[in-house]
Chains A and B, each alone.
Chain A
């Protein structure tokens, strides 16, 4: 049974409401070790991120730096990982024996040693397709995959989405200061930008109840037309897939239920999310994370605005308007010197520039929305 999301509707339907709430709970910082990542047995690099849990009131990641981290195999081989800062540790490709079982070993700065349970290596089948379809005020993204050998069964995905957006105005002039204007060089153009975001949900799927190992159009994301500017011009998503063991899948599912699938009338009780990583000296210490071995496959899909149904899509620039700034020192000083407005193009009268059209910087410089003008390689 998929989550019981319909309840949220029930709430609305019965004039219900949800209010932001902070429980008057004071918690001492817990500081449990959090291990995120998996051992990549597909020849790509393996990445691990170590951090610590924090109190409810201090939502800052506390990276765990200075730890010694390595991948170990059941037969004693050890591949040390390199710390790259921010709690991240990486290991390039290492000689993988698919019949071997692997684990991670961590020794933190305070001298405590942790290791995960040995895990079988899983090979991930390729993604068959990424598809999409309009659905109630947005589009749904789906992933389809299969494993002819019926061995994969449990899947997890992450995705990176990148999209192109543009300001409503193209600035052709640049204000150099001191009442001087020039033609805007292409290198300083900021009409079109690219933005990137990562999936923030745990995306898992299972074919355990099916006769064949086929996942057909499993929904992984919903992109609304309103509220985000992802679908204004061109959208791209890179979906990464890896296969889980049953145990690993169940752990991911527990974390998902505990942290994402709440707010219904019929919420399940929060459950314990200890994974397969243990302090070698104290098995009772809480360590969060599940470390498995899997390879990773990926696929990218583009969606152009022209493919979408004729709907209005939020651009984020709905309030932008064009102003006119007279070409005199007072006006220029007032509007351009202080950066209140950004010039767009000159207004001529009988070959003389009498004014400049202009708009707020936010409406002209797409970078102020958060993106970058650098076009990604794959675009």
Chain B
């Protein structure tokens, strides 16, 4: 490239110095080597180093060339013949050993001289055929406009396999940071063919051969296009520019991948920009809180980030952070979610058609993707709020190849605790989380991604007991592109969640209680793009569990605590799946998936055996069976089905239907309403059957105004088997026969969800309304006590009516307003039906589980985002977020309870936030 000269100059120059080429056979100028994926510049360097040749070419015209060839003492013309065979590239060599590379037009190097017969063919061939892997990687220094006007040749025109179409694939990246752009829409106008980039920024599109204008759009990015001459399968990487300043609203094109066109149903995707706009308590952008505003997603109250998706319990959600399972996604008793907003890129919630690659949870998959670090510069950001502070740094390790992002958050809530009355003065609460992501591009076909995540919470609220819990996750992903149509992602990793409770105030009772769950996993997922209308996805995954259900140990010498350790549990959960997406006609497509799910409960373990047909109680234990290491104690498994279909009645109206079945082999045992940090997880075993679920759903999707307004209606019906509920007075911690304290119930859930969404524009946001029910039933007298006499009763999180509005308005480029309003029916609660007097106090008498409801919930939040100036070239960019959570100061009930105090029974309504909570956050980017 050092010798690159513009083509015109070259032509001019050539007019004067043209002599026939005669030195090709010079033994000094023979070339040897094994060239892999070289650009023309690299190839030229290589040849120049071995020979006396000198290259001249237009780098823009030849930058789509990639050279892979092996040469053993070959002459340059012979080599170039091979390289350019089947392409429109030409070469010419003059007598000064100057090599001119061009496209389309061959250069005459022998003006005025009549070529000898045969020479012409030898030297001015329009060469065809190649085994060249053509990639066009766009150098960032090239003017953007130039790229749009350039014609990219993709594939070879000779190796004509007779197919009318060819496949292009590649990565869509952010030109500034090198990060992948997820969900970018890549399409041509005529005929309408479009795809979206995946979580790695990777796309595959199949188009008719010939000349096209490829349009690329992504929210927040400048629209761009590429002119392509499609001759055969090939690669095209595309860099997008950030929309630094929006002078005018983007007119959203009809081509943006819309909910009408997409195959998925019951999928909601939020990017971090959207998440950051929504006001939340204390101002720390909170991904789970925003997910809670989506239709069909509920929680039991403000102190819980536990999601209840379409009537599922909180443990029925698979929460994946870069493929790592997060068991406890909350900080600070559930008031915050444990994800650092600066590291997260986007989040996708699958609540209906769960792809076959996911398994092991009944209700939903929450797939959280982190960003890749900036591949070009070191940058960072910091934020300061009332309770938390964070710092994030990202940048290249090897420029354009390897990047990292490191983020950390911590809290300083202790000042708040110190303001409390004296009896709480000694309380302490703290948390932190740390993220490290490394993305490495080995070469065009291989990428590595490393994710490390840890979080920890510790608190001691003036009691003598200290609580702590934490997550620890590592995952390593390798993405390998086998060929244009076929790629795979291999993931391995380790997930851990643990908690500990300790107390050492009383030396005789001083103890430490530990719980942990560990899993090692391996996943392989393959995507095979058969044709434009047909694609396959298949793979397998396996998880090895080791779970320590409880270890109770003395602390200190004078402690009399007897060590009590519940035997560790081991299991292997595996899945093998195949999913096939087929487009029958442009408007009608179907997808079918099948997953074989297998769970092996493994030894060593001692299992209680119960008399058949009798309730599982301690009295009915007829024996125990001991199994050795890795013995197969109990196997569960079976086929799971995923099916969906989409029919487009028009470009902006479609109907989708889906059916899927799921199995779940791990449950949270909790008899509290909210997920407590000290709940334990339990694997299915011979006495506790896995949960099974089926869901049938149907949706209508209609877009208006050029797809700028999306509307949808989805209905679903769900059945759940073996859902665990608890017997009266269940003892869940350190219970060596936990099966005696739980009962298996049946559940059914149904609902209808309405959503109106305006994803872009000055005014954007969404409004949703959901009507849904979840009813449980325990009517098997052999299973133990009947709950509510065997009649159906609502689950704790059954909130039939709920509505949410999230509205953002951008006043100008530096100032925007957000309002969020939420309404829901109060959740069910068991209220006393009477009183009795016992032990010198009135006490309450309960009957009828969940027969009443707490008062309805309504909350409005407000936030303002103020950005500093938008000049691109300045050291730091800063912004402020000012807002009020619960503007109306409404005392929204979290629970209603009756308690005996000093001999009398008093009823209370408990609110987590009893007033409007103002907040202010300062963020800085550098």
* Residues of A participating in the B interface, judged by any CB pair closer than 8 Å: 1-2, 4-7, 9-23, 25, 27, 29-30, 32, 34, 36, 51-56, 58-59, 61, 136-137, 158, 198-202, 207, 209-212, 214-217, 250, 253-255, 257-260, 262-263, 265-273, 288-289
B845: contacting residue among A32, A158, A202, A217, CB under 8 A: A32
**CB of B12 closer than 8 Å to a CB of A:** no
A262: contacting residue among B424, B463, B671, B899, CB under 8 A: B899
- The docked-state distance in angstroms from the alpha carbon of A18 to that of B72 is 85
Contact B914 A266 (CB under 8 A): no
**CB of B507 closer than 8 Å to a CB of A:** yes
**CB of B520 closer than 8 Å to a CB of A:** no
On whether A136 and B900 interact (CB within 8 A), knowing A266-B676, A269-B673, the answer reads: no
- The docked-state distance in angstroms from the alpha carbon of A140 to that of B456 is 33
Nearest Cβ on chain B to A54's Cβ, whole angstroms: 5
- The docked-state distance in angstroms from the alpha carbon of A284 to that of B424 is 46
Provide the B563-592 mask, 1 if CB < 8 A to any CB of A, else 0.
010000000000000000000000000000
On whether A6 and B459 interact (CB within 8 A), knowing A59-B905, A254-B728, A259-B844, the answer reads: yes
**CB of B333 closer than 8 Å to a CB of A:** yes
The interface residues of chain A lying within 8 Å CB-to-CB of B844 are 56, 258-259, 270
Specify the chain A residue showing the minimal Cβ separation from B303.
A265
Nearest Cβ on chain B to A135's Cβ, whole angstroms: 8
The interface residues of chain A lying within 8 Å CB-to-CB of B501 are 1
Contact A1 B899 (CB under 8 A): no
Q: Say which one of B248-256, B625-633, B875-883, B888-896 lies at the interface with A.
A: B888-896
**CB of B335 closer than 8 Å to a CB of A:** yes
The interface residues of chain B lying within 8 Å CB-to-CB of A56 are 832-835, 844
B562: contacting residue among A30, A209, A253, CB under 8 A: A209
Residues of B611-647 at the interface with A, using a CB-CB cut-off of 8 Å, are: none
Q: Say which one of B85-93, B415-423, B709-717, B754-762 lies at the interface with A.
A: B415-423
The interface residues of chain A lying within 8 Å CB-to-CB of B673 are 266-267, 269
Nearest Cβ on chain A to B743's Cβ, whole angstroms: 12
- The docked-state distance in angstroms from the alpha carbon of A17 to that of B842 is 24
**CB of B907 closer than 8 Å to a CB of A:** yes
- The docked-state distance in angstroms from the alpha carbon of A24 to that of B462 is 35
The interface residues of chain A lying within 8 Å CB-to-CB of B508 are 210, 214-217
**CB of B917 closer than 8 Å to a CB of A:** yes
Contact A265 B830 (CB under 8 A): no
Chain B count of residues within 8 A CB distance of the other chain: 94
Contact A6 B427 (CB under 8 A): yes
Contact A4 B839 (CB under 8 A): no
Among A2, A56, A136, the one with the most B-chain Cβ atoms within 10 Å of its Cβ is: A56
* Residues of B participating in the A interface, judged by any CB pair closer than 8 Å: 281, 301, 303-304, 333-335, 413, 416-417, 420-427, 429, 459-463, 465, 467, 501, 503, 506-509, 511, 513, 552, 560-562, 564, 671-674, 676, 678, 726-730, 733, 785, 830-846, 849, 852, 891, 894-900, 902-915, 917
Specify the chain A residue showing the minimal Cβ separation from B734.
A209
B907: contacting residue among A22, A51, A136, CB under 8 A: A22
Among A58, A210, A267, the one with the most B-chain Cβ atoms within 10 Å of its Cβ is: A267
Nearest Cβ on chain A to B531's Cβ, whole angstroms: 54
On whether A9 and B915 interact (CB within 8 A), knowing A54-B834, A59-B905, A211-B562, the answer reads: no
Contact A216 B835 (CB under 8 A): no
The interface residues of chain A lying within 8 Å CB-to-CB of B846 are 258, 270-273
Contact A202 B839 (CB under 8 A): yes
Contact A250 B729 (CB under 8 A): yes
Specify the chain B residue showing the minimal Cβ separation from A27.
B833
On whether A9 and B424 interact (CB within 8 A), knowing A55-B834, A262-B897, the answer reads: yes
A217: contacting residue among B301, B304, B506, B909, CB under 8 A: B506
Contact B463 A2 (CB under 8 A): yes
- The docked-state distance in angstroms from the alpha carbon of A12 to that of B423 is 12
- The docked-state distance in angstroms from the alpha carbon of A9 to that of B426 is 11
What are 12 contact pairs spanning A and B, CB under 8 A?
A6-B465, A51-B837, A216-B507, A254-B729, A259-B899, A265-B894, A267-B673, A269-B672, A269-B673, A270-B830, A272-B846, A273-B728
B560: contacting residue among A12, A32, A52, A210, CB under 8 A: A210
The interface residues of chain B lying within 8 Å CB-to-CB of A14 are 281, 335, 912-913
Nearest Cβ on chain B to A134's Cβ, whole angstroms: 12
On whether A289 and B838 interact (CB within 8 A), knowing A9-B420, A13-B416, the answer reads: yes
The interface residues of chain B lying within 8 Å CB-to-CB of A18 are 908-911
The interface residues of chain A lying within 8 Å CB-to-CB of B845 are 30, 32, 53, 273, 288
6 additional A-B residue pairs with CB within 8 Å, beyond A56-B835, A209-B562, A260-B900: A14-B913, A18-B908, A23-B852, A200-B903, A267-B895, A272-B728
Nearest Cβ on chain B to A37's Cβ, whole angstroms: 10
Contact B835 A54 (CB under 8 A): yes
Nearest Cβ on chain A to B887's Cβ, whole angstroms: 14
The interface residues of chain A lying within 8 Å CB-to-CB of B902 are 200
Contact B552 A11 (CB under 8 A): no
Contact A59 B835 (CB under 8 A): yes
Contact B561 A30 (CB under 8 A): no
The interface residues of chain A lying within 8 Å CB-to-CB of B420 are 9, 12-13
Nearest Cβ on chain A to B286's Cβ, whole angstroms: 14
Contact B834 A53 (CB under 8 A): yes
On whether A21 and B908 interact (CB within 8 A), knowing A1-B678, A136-B425, A288-B845, the answer reads: yes
Contact B462 A6 (CB under 8 A): yes
Among B427, B465, B834, B900, the one with the most A-chain Cβ atoms within 10 Å of its Cβ is: B834
A137: contacting residue among B422, B835, B915, CB under 8 A: B422
Nearest Cβ on chain A to B385's Cβ, whole angstroms: 14
Contact B561 A266 (CB under 8 A): no
Contact B836 A200 (CB under 8 A): no
B899: contacting residue among A61, A250, A263, CB under 8 A: A263
- The docked-state distance in angstroms from the alpha carbon of A267 to that of B300 is 12
The interface residues of chain A lying within 8 Å CB-to-CB of B896 are 21, 23
The interface residues of chain B lying within 8 Å CB-to-CB of A202 are 839
The 9 closest A-B pairs by CB, nearest first: A6-B461, A17-B914, A271-B728, A21-B909, A216-B508, A136-B423, A272-B728, A270-B846, A259-B843
Contact B914 A212 (CB under 8 A): no
B836: contacting residue among A51, A263, A265, CB under 8 A: A51
Nearest Cβ on chain B to A335's Cβ, whole angstroms: 36
B463: contacting residue among A6, A13, A61, A268, CB under 8 A: A6
- The docked-state distance in angstroms from the alpha carbon of A111 to that of B711 is 67
On whether A258 and B671 interact (CB within 8 A), knowing A14-B912, A51-B837, A136-B423, the answer reads: no
- The docked-state distance in angstroms from the alpha carbon of A107 to that of B217 is 84
Specify the chain B residue showing the minimal Cβ separation from A136.
B423
The interface residues of chain A lying within 8 Å CB-to-CB of B836 are 32, 34, 51-54, 288
The interface residues of chain A lying within 8 Å CB-to-CB of B729 are 250, 253-254, 257, 271-272
Contact B834 A209 (CB under 8 A): no
Contact A265 B911 (CB under 8 A): no
Nearest Cβ on chain A to B565's Cβ, whole angstroms: 12
The interface residues of chain A lying within 8 Å CB-to-CB of B832 are 56, 270
- The docked-state distance in angstroms from the alpha carbon of A37 to that of B179 is 73
Nearest Cβ on chain B to A116's Cβ, whole angstroms: 15
Contact A10 B333 (CB under 8 A): yes
Nearest Cβ on chain A to B636's Cβ, whole angstroms: 28
The interface residues of chain B lying within 8 Å CB-to-CB of A55 are 834-835
Contact B333 A7 (CB under 8 A): yes
The interface residues of chain A lying within 8 Å CB-to-CB of B909 are 18-21
B785: contacting residue among A16, A199, A272, CB under 8 A: A272
Contact A4 B898 (CB under 8 A): no
A15: contacting residue among B674, B831, B905, B914, CB under 8 A: B914
Nearest Cβ on chain B to A103's Cβ, whole angstroms: 19
B908: contacting residue among A25, A53, A207, A263, CB under 8 A: A263
The interface residues of chain A lying within 8 Å CB-to-CB of B507 are 216
Contact B831 A23 (CB under 8 A): yes
- The docked-state distance in angstroms from the alpha carbon of A15 to that of B838 is 34
Specify the chain B residue showing the minimal Cβ separation from A199.
B840
The interface residues of chain B lying within 8 Å CB-to-CB of A36 are 837-839
Specify the chain A residue showing the minimal Cβ separation from B333.
A10
Contact B423 A1 (CB under 8 A): no
